[in-house]
Amino acid sequence: MNEKSKKAYFDNYDVKKIKSEFFSFYHPFSLMTYFCCILLLIMFTTNPYILAIGLIGGMTFSFMNDKGKSVLKDIRFYLVLFVLVSLSNPIFSHNGETVLMKIGNVNVTFESLINGIVIALLIITVMVWCKNYSTIMTQDKFLFLFSGFVPKIALILSMIIRFIPLFREKLKSINESQKVLGAYSSNKPLEKIKSYLSTFSFLITWSLENSIETAYSMKSRGYGLKNKTRYTVYKFGSKDVLLIVISLILTAVCLIGIILGSLSFEFYPVITISEINYMTMASYLSFFILSFIPFIIETKENVKWKYYVSKI
């Protein structure tokens, strides 16, 4: 390829698209291993420092995926959810010794408020990483991993994951069509209920038809047959081995810290934090590296990409 051809190639190449997708180029098995490790640690700990690190790492990765477009949209929902969960826990849980205020006969304690904040942080962190998972682990990657072992279950799960965004898009389309036809225009509650029920009926009908069409389509393509070739072939390389080994080692360090109580954080009857020791610091450092592995990979590959482009 001569210099003129190289210039024409890179002028037409979508550099912006490639820049934020290096992590998704890894083998589906290594990606699945990484997400299982990070979600395992997040869901089975109540340590607010671990959750805060996980949230920052997840939000950073989400921001790199689409330049912050979805993050800015979702942050309002996360803030509302955070406030609702944080404030609802002291109302239903009255444990704790430090009473902040009394609402009638209900004691609002400092410990229950902090517990509510941590629960909200846990829920939001899990949601952020699940969204990152759905962005990276596409339907073809999921089918690549599980279609050979449990083809029917894999197809059902992939359809469920795929239908969630499709439901939102179709619901929006149906609502806009209904508004054009004059639905929701009446101020009568009964008429509004009828309009909502009609929209819901259209959505359910569409989802059933779509699922049947998908099932027939997959059957006609020979899905689930033995010795069937896959549309996308992923190669398992040394970088995938490295990602799996690093993820498992970092996860093992954190799990040892949890088992030994180095990351314990108790809320009742008073807030107690485990003493900081070498195992605690090692666990925090390991989880920090684990949470920012996608960011580290993206940054490293971006620097290499810009360097190679500059040499052309």
Q: Which tens digit of pLDDT belongs to each residue from 167-206?
A: 667 777 777 777 776 766 666 777 667 777 777 777 777 7
- State the Cα–Cα distance between residues 220 and 180, nearest whole angstrom: 38
State the pLDDT at residue 243.
Answer: 92
Task: Examine the domain organization and report whether 166 and 201 are in the same domain.
Answer: yes
The segment with the largest mean pLDDT, out of 52-61, 82-91, 141-150, is 52-61
Task: Examine the domain organization and report whether 225 and 242 are in the same domain.
Answer: no
If pLDDT is split at 50, 70 and 90, which confidence band does 155 have?
low
Task: Examine the domain organization and report whether 139 and 179 are in the same domain.
Answer: no
DSSP 189-242: HHHHHHHHHHHHHHHHHHHHHHHHHHHHHHHHTTTT-TTPPPSS-----HHHHH
Listed residues 213, 229, 245: the one ending a domain: 229
Expressed as residue numbers, the domain containing 203 is: 161-229
pLDDT: is 78 or 212 the higher one?
78
Domain total for the chain?
2
The average pLDDT across 45-70 equals 84
> 209: buried, middle or exposed (CB in 10 Å: 19+, 13-18, 0-12)?
exposed
Max Cα distance, the chain (Å): 82
In a domain, 156, yes or no: no
Task: Examine the domain organization and report whether 243 and 223 are in the same domain.
Answer: no
Q: How far is C-alpha 172 from the geometric centre of its chain's CA atoms?
A: 23
In a domain, 49, yes or no: yes
Task: Examine the domain organization and report whether 245 and 218 are in the same domain.
Answer: no
Task: Examine the domain organization and report whether 136 and 178 are in the same domain.
Answer: no
Task: Examine the domain organization and report whether 193 and 85 are in the same domain.
Answer: no
Task: Examine the domain organization and report whether 221 and 254 are in the same domain.
Answer: no
Q: Tokens 């590959």 appear where?
A: 301
Taking residue 160's Cβ as centre, other Cβ atoms within 10 Å add up to: 10
Task: Examine the domain organization and report whether 29 and 138 are in the same domain.
Answer: yes
Listed residues 191, 206, 229: the one ending a domain: 229
Q: Which tens digit of pLDDT belongs to each residue from 17-42?
A: 444 467 888 888 899 899 999 999 99
Listed residues 184, 207, 229: the one ending a domain: 229
In a domain, 153, yes or no: no
In a domain, 152, yes or no: no
In a domain, 154, yes or no: no
Task: Examine the domain organization and report whether 215 and 76 are in the same domain.
Answer: no
